[in-house]
Amino acid sequence: MKARDIYAAIEETAPPYLAEKWDNSGLQVGSRNRDIQKVLLALDVTESVVQEAIHKNVQLIVSHHPFIFNGIKSICVDSGKGELVSQLIKHDISVYSAHTNLDSAKLGLNDFIADRFQIKETQPLVPSPHDQLYKLVIFTPQNFSQKILEVLEKNGAGVLGKYSCSSFRTTGKSTFKPLEGANPYIGQLNKVETVVEDRIETIISQNLIKKILPIIKQVHPYEEMAYDLYPLDSSISKNENGLGKIGDLERPLTPKEFISEIKKVLDLPFVRTAGPTPKKVKKVALCTGAGAEFISIAKLKGADAYITGDLKYHEAQNAKENDLWVIDAGHFGTEKNVVYLLEKIIHSAYPSLEIIISDNVNDFFNIY
């Protein structure tokens, strides 16, 4: 299949709009159109991973961390990143990264890890603003109502829990006066017109607004389509995507049992903790990678323990001040399993594709 088919399969789970603004997820190097027979999965695209890809004759590397992140000012092919770019291009190997969009996705990395801990009834720790629901109201001549409803439904508007095609319609009178230069569908220049119109109401999530409005405008007969967008209370938003997860363990664990569980599930030789140790651990928050900035949110949401990585000294102090037990399982420790999630996503879309987990998923830190 084509490279773009694999990117599309990943984006089905991890839509690009969920990526943080500072991120650089997506195609890093290479092609959308080349044929792919073999894919290599890695956490980071390092020199060893590129060598492995060349050696194993793969056409595509999919990584979690973007290969190009801070912007490249020049590509010197003698060493470093430039040399890797040159090697990749020379061997026709593409690199695609799914980073914060995969972190935030409903069934993304945080969900995958929460599942391994058997955390139930999970919710996003920090709900995505893209899940914010809006009420969309469109005013239209009655003979266009059906067409507009069809476009809304086809493009994902009107989804309410386990129901789709939700809308409400009332009929009323609208007035307008076409001014000089206008090209009205109904009415004459400089004359106030009264028209019987439908007011169509539906709901739409934030990420669909930019997509749907231009499509509706194409179908709507008026030069100036009248519409309203009302943000709805966050308590009735979808609340599916977002960074981190929070939920309950099946049964409460003692802190000692919980630490053993973390080391077992994530296959780690050690973890660090900060903040006061609770008596029991039932409600658990987690954020893979670096999630120290969400310590106070985890506390506010009632977590007994918060698993994350990359805790700095003063963030450990913050854990103490927030009276929350924070377990630093390492950036690598909380994210290394991403390759198994990527394997699951790509394999379920393309079972016949050869997928290799890199032998070079390694921590940059050494322990002595």
For CA atoms 350, 352, 353, 355, the dihedral sign is positive
Q: Is the CB of 13 or the CB of 334 nearer to Zn ion?
A: 334
For residue 230, the cross-strand partners are 135
Task: Report DSSP state, residue 257.
Answer: H
Number of residues that bind Zn ion (CB under 5 A): 2
Q: Residue 346 Cβ, how far from Zn ion at the closest point, in Å? A: 19
What mask of x and - would describe binding to Zn ion in positions 251 to 290, judged by CB under 5 A?
--------------------------------------x-
Q: Residue 26 Cβ, how far from Zn ion at the closest point, in Å? A: 16
**Ramachandran sector of residue 367 (left: φ over 0; alpha: ψ -120 to 50; beta: rest):** beta
- What order of strands is seen across the sheet that includes strand 60-63? 26-29, 94-97, 60-63, 38-42, 354-357
Q: Is the CB of 65 or the CB of 130 nearer to Zn ion?
A: 65
Residues in region 283-312 near Zn ion by CB under 5 A: 289
E strands of 86-150, at which residues? 94-97, 120-127, 133-141
The token pair that represents 281 in the structure block: 């651990």
Q: Residue 254 Cβ, how far from Zn ion at the closest point, in Å? A: 30
Q: Residue 236 Cβ, how far from Zn ion at the closest point, in Å? A: 32
Q: Is the CB of 83 or the CB of 343 nearer to Zn ion?
A: 343
How many helices (H) and strands (E) in the chain? 12, 15
Residues in region 326-345 near Zn ion by CB under 5 A: 335
For residue 199, the cross-strand partners are 139, 170
Q: Is the CB of 111 or the CB of 335 nearer to Zn ion?
A: 335
The token pair that represents 336 in the structure block: 């290394």
Q: Is the CB of 108 or the CB of 289 nearer to Zn ion?
A: 289
- Nearest residue relative to Zn ion (C-beta): 289
Q: Residue 310 Cβ, how far from Zn ion at the closest point, in Å? A: 8
Binding residues for Zn ion, per CB under 5 A? 289, 335
